[in-house]
Every structure is written in C-alpha cells, then in structure tokens.
Amino acid sequence: MNQKNTFNLFSKRNNCRLCESKDVQLVVPLNPTPVAEKYLLKKDLSKENIVCPLDLYICNDCGHVQLLDIVEPNFLYSDYTYSSGTSKGLVKHFESYANSILENYKPIKNSLILDIGSNDGTLLKFFKNKGLRVLGVDPAEEIANKATKEGIETIPKFFNLTLSEEILQKYGSPKIITANNAFAHMDNLDEIMKGIHMLMDKSSIFVFEVSYLLDVVEKVLLGTIFHEHHSYHSVTPLNIFFNKFDMEIIHLERNTIQGGSLIGVVQFQDGMYKKDESVDKILEIEKKSNITKPETLKKFSENLNHSKNQINKLLNSLLINNKTIAGFGAARSGTTLISQMEIAKFIDFIVDDNKFKQGKYSPAGQIIVKPTEYIYEAKPDYLIILAWVHSKNIIKNHQKYLDQGGSFIVCFPELKVINNSNMNDL
C-alpha cells in the first residue's frame, strides 16, 4: 500500500491553541494516520492513501495537550458519517445532560439554546421537548440539513465570529450555549471563544463537554486520539484560557461516557451563578497527578509502545499457530488502534453494525467491513475489539460467539484474551 503525505490537506501551527505560547514540546509521537472516519469504497483502494501526522504536543506555559498538525476542515468533514443518534449510550447521556442543565440553571420557556457542533440534533431535541427554542450549528452539511428537516434548525456552517454576529442579530442572545466535543474539535479556539462571549450576557452560561486528558492517560484511551480531536483538555489550562475572556468555570463534573469525559459550566466573571467546590477539587486532582507536566505524557507514550509490543507478540504467536483473527467495531478508534499498534496485517476482516460502513474498507490497513453476523459464518478464532471502550457490551452481546469457542482480545487498559472460561476477568 502506498502512503503519501499530501501537504495541502494539512497545515501545522507553531503555538499553543489556548495561550498562544510558542514553547510547545512533542511528548507523544504517533504514526501518521489516515483520517479515522474515512472508510473507503472498493474503487478508491487503488488510490494513494493519505496519511496525516498525529503527534501530541504539550504547551510548557499553560500545560495544554494538543495536536499541532491540522487537517484541512473541509477535507476532514466532507462525507462525514459520524452521527450521535446512532449510539444509544450517547442518546441517553445527552438526555440526562440536558435534564441536569435545565434543573440547575432553569431557563425560562422560549429561551434560546444554541448547540455548537450539534450533529444530528440529538441533544437539542431534549431541550426542544421541554419548550425551549433551539438552534444548532454544524459544518457536516448532510447531517445538518437532515436535522433541520426533522425539526431541529441547524446552520450548516463552521462556527466563527461572523456567524455569531449573524446569530445574535437573527435569533438574539442564547441563555445556554453548549458544545459537546466540538470544543476539542476546533483549531481556532480564540475566535470561537470571542464568538461565544459575544453571544452571552451576565445571565448566560456556556457548557462544554470534552474527552478528559486525565482519563485518556490513566485508562490509555488511545482510541480518542484522532484528527478531529485537536485538543486533549484538562482544567488547569482551560481555567487560564477562560480568564483571558473575563470568564470563569463555575462547575465541573466527570463522566464515564466514551471512556471518560469532563463537563464544564462557564459564565462571565460577574455572572449570576455561584462557583461550586467541584472546580477547586478537580484542579487539585490535576495538580497531584501532574497531568500538565511533559513527564506524565512521555510516560503515557512509553506505555503505548509497551502495549504495541505485547499486542504484536500475541497476534504473531496466534498467526504462527494458524489461528484466524478478525476485528470488532469500525469506529474511529479502530483507525488509530490499527495504525498505532501496526496490526492491519493480522486482521482478515472487521465487523460492524453500521450499514454505511459495511462493504467499505477501513482507512487504516484497508480491511473489509462485514455485518456483525458474519462472525457466526466465518467463525474467526479471535476477535480483536477495535472499539474497546465498549468491550463489556460487545462481549455480553456475543455470548454465542464465545459458546462456539471464539475468544475476544481486549487491548486496553491491559491486554486480555477473554473466552468462556475467564469472562468474569473483564
């Protein structure tokens, strides 16, 4: 397979995304990787495979961990198929997330809720059902237009300063602005924050949810590292960042969704809500764990290399013994896992429930994606779980595969082979 770096499809910034310091240091070097969500059609297999750098840097001034190589957004989000409504766990999470915001901040009826990176409108639906006005912004055109058709008005654009002016004029000031994961997806956070600030007043709040760096490092969530995620947020640098805009974090909570996320609520420094104790508590945890120090990230990088050696050793020995191996889950995390662990050569096929991916080929390693039931036909000896934050559910749902003598391989946080005799070890 030919791999080629296509330079006009990505660029590199030379400073920290949050504090603009140029004192940035490479801490987790990773293999250049294809864009994680771009599953390929058969006719595209002969084309050169575009890979982009995926290295993690830390800012020595504010401690923010980030990618500095930026994939051109129009390329990254064209044919974007990721849809939050397809994940039952995420839908449930959004419901409780919306309910808890409504309970704690009690917006009056008809208040405007703006969701940046609203995807298919899954979160906004819960606000709309409670009698609030809702507006979404999402650059994935197809998904945005579909949401609008289904009653969640969604502007199919990237959120920026110009768009916030337009929103303010046409819709007024939102009482609540949410950004779920979008906050990790954006390169120009300074401009985004200026836009959000412009839309807010003393009574508004901004609520963000990001995958949490502490969880990424502690639980080895390698699969959350892909090109859409420009930032791997922790609170210490974010706190400095929000202060720059005369804003403050007033509440934080950790969640187990997608392996580990952090929800933060932000307001103007002279805003109407009281800051609670959760903020200092989490800042203290971050200090103790040294999460904003280069050494911690370098240790994480060493752990990844150790895992890679172990996984390759295991898969090699299976192959020598003529065992067949397939992959479970054509998620974005799979692209990172296959590329970083360099395991494409061991995997015969991947299975996934997502019909849009079936019949296509994985961006990393160009492995065919089959429907999940295919495991009962092909009966591979081993299934390596590529979407491993869902390992427990996947194994639970496929007891039949274990009963037929199959084994699952779970790579993280520790490498484990699960079969019918040791299922409870997971």
Residues that bind Zn ion (CB under 5 A): 16, 18-19, 21, 59, 61-62, 64
Nearer to Zn ion, 101 or 210 (CB): 210
Question: Which residue in this structure is represented by tokens 């994961």?
Answer: 181
Nearer to Zn ion, 236 or 391 (CB): 236
* Distance of closest approach, residue 317 Cβ to Zn ion, in angstroms: 44
Cβ proximity of 363 and 335 under 8 Å:
yes
Nearer to Zn ion, 66 or 354 (CB): 66
Check the CA dihedral 238-239-240-243 and report its sign: positive
Nearer to Zn ion, 111 or 234 (CB): 234
Nearer to Zn ion, 19 or 102 (CB): 19
Question: Which residue in this structure is represented by tokens 């580990």?
Answer: 260
Other C-beta atoms within 10 Å of 426: how many? 12
Nearer to Zn ion, 63 or 365 (CB): 63
Query: Which H or E run contains 310?
Result: helix 294-320
* Distance of closest approach, residue 242 Cβ to Zn ion, in angstroms: 13
Cα–Cα distances in Å, from 364 out to 296, 304, 360? 28, 18, 12
Nearer to Zn ion, 237 or 363 (CB): 237
How far, in Å, CA of 157 to CA of 77, rounded? 11
* Distance of closest approach, residue 374 Cβ to Zn ion, in angstroms: 47
Closest residue by Cα to residue 252 from 238, 240, 262: 262
Closest residue by Cα to residue 383 from 423, 305, 323: 323
Burial environment of residue 117 by CB neighbours within 10 A (0 to 12, 13 to 18, 19 or more): buried
Count Cα neighbours of 268 within 13 Å in the Cβ-side half-sphere: 15
* Distance of closest approach, residue 156 Cβ to Zn ion, in angstroms: 32
* Distance of closest approach, residue 64 Cβ to Zn ion, in angstroms: 5
Cα–Cα distances in Å, from 209 out to 126, 248, 336, 405? 17, 16, 22, 41
Nearer to Zn ion, 28 or 418 (CB): 28
Angle CA(307)–CA(232)–CA(5) in degrees, nearest 5?
70
Rg of the chain (C-alpha set): 22
Nearer to Zn ion, 119 or 296 (CB): 296
Nearer to Zn ion, 24 or 314 (CB): 24
* Distance of closest approach, residue 234 Cβ to Zn ion, in angstroms: 11
* Distance of closest approach, residue 17 Cβ to Zn ion, in angstroms: 7
Closest residue by Cα to residue 164 from 210, 114, 231: 114
Query: Which H or E run contains 295?
Result: helix 294-320
Nearer to Zn ion, 25 or 399 (CB): 25
How far, in Å, CA of 116 to CA of 71, rounded? 20
> Residue 352 carries which side chain, given as an amino acid letter?
D
* Distance of closest approach, residue 296 Cβ to Zn ion, in angstroms: 16
Which residues, including other chains, have CB under 8 Å from residue 98's CB and lie 6 or more apart?
123, 126, 127, 130
* Distance of closest approach, residue 237 Cβ to Zn ion, in angstroms: 6
How far, in Å, CA of 262 to CA of 254, rounded? 5
* Distance of closest approach, residue 58 Cβ to Zn ion, in angstroms: 9
* Distance of closest approach, residue 14 Cβ to Zn ion, in angstroms: 12
